[in-house]
Amino acid sequence: MSSSQSQSGAISSKDDVQQMFDAIVPRYDLMNHIMTFGMDFRWRRIMARIASQTLTGPSDFVVDVACGTGDVAFAIERVGVPLVTGLDYSSGMIAEAQRKAKKRGSEVNFIEGDGMDMPFKDGVASAATISFGMRNLPDYAAGVREMARIVRPGGKVICLEATPYDHPILKYPFNFYFYRVLPVIGKLLTGKYEAYKYLPDSVRHFPRPNELAQTFRDAGLEDVQVVMLGFGSVALHVGTKPL
């Protein structure tokens, strides 16, 4: 294992990941929409709707971990969650999320912080979401446990993440796109080839959906559901904290 490779398989150190995300902020949203062929809008809406299923009253609070430029947090606010906080450790991402919030009159609170050690008390949130962020954490199991910690009994932990693509035939064109074409599009649009090479490399090391589901159960979550999206390239995991 190289010095920049974490235990869980993500391939860069915390500082490297932080700098990489700071560097791609200006074209980050556009690149998301292009590389997913616009499917990311729907995926974020699905996440937001599931987060809203935990609502009980006006003090309901949802945390979007590794929020990036804020699109999941905005989607969660739009479905009627009263209090939403987005947390990310890239100051560039947080600044962009705050700029977007101001522009659209959103009341989402965006803060800089580490998803592995969040500044929230146990059980304060109705749900904790993470979208395309889990893969970047240095320890996936500890990341899931930290999300479960801040969620109240009956609340949900929801993770949307790219997953290794195993389809016996389609994996050939998909992997060609993902490993060869995507980094080039990333370079053309953002000037950062490495960031969009990191994406498929980190997906390759990421647990299969059934393994991540077990990680959810090991964190004490129950009724763990897995929904495959994006023709099997993306997995949505939902777990409920026992009452």
Ligand X SMILES: C[S@@+](CC[C@H](N)C(=O)[O-])C[C@H]1O[C@@H](n2cnc3c(N)ncnc32)[C@H](O)[C@@H]1O
Tell me how far apart the alpha carbons of residues 63 and 84 are, in angstroms, rounded to a whole number. Answer: 6
Per CB under 6 A, the segment of 60-68, 176-184, 207-215, 233-241 that binds ligand X is 60-68
Nearer to ligand X, 56 or 91 (CB): 91
Cβ 58 to ligand X shortest distance, Å = 26
Contact call for residue 134 and ligand X (CB under 6 A): no
Nearer to ligand X, 194 or 242 (CB): 194
Apex CA 183: angle with CA 110 and CA 17, to 5°?
40
Could you tell me the strand order of the sheet in which 61-65 lies? 109-112, 83-88, 61-65, 125-131, 151-162, 234-240, 222-229
Nearer to ligand X, 72 or 151 (CB): 72
Nearer to ligand X, 29 or 175 (CB): 29
Site for ligand X, residues 63 to 82, rule: CB under 6 A: 66-68, 71-72
Give CA 7 to chain center in angstroms: 19
Tell me how far apart the alpha carbons of residues 238 and 55 are, in angstroms, rounded to a whole number. Answer: 15
Contact call for residue 32 and ligand X (CB under 6 A): yes
- Dihedral (C-alpha) 99, 17, 233, 94: value to the nearest 10 degrees? -10
Per CB under 6 A, the segment of 52-60, 86-94, 103-111, 201-209 that binds ligand X is 86-94
DSSP 208: P
Q: Which of 61, 110, 132, 206 binds ligand X (CB under 6 A)?
A: 132
Bridge-based pairing of strands 222-229 and 234-240 is antiparallel
Applying CB under 6 A, the residues found at the interface with ligand X are: 17, 21, 32, 66-68, 71-72, 88-90, 93, 114-116, 131-133, 136-137
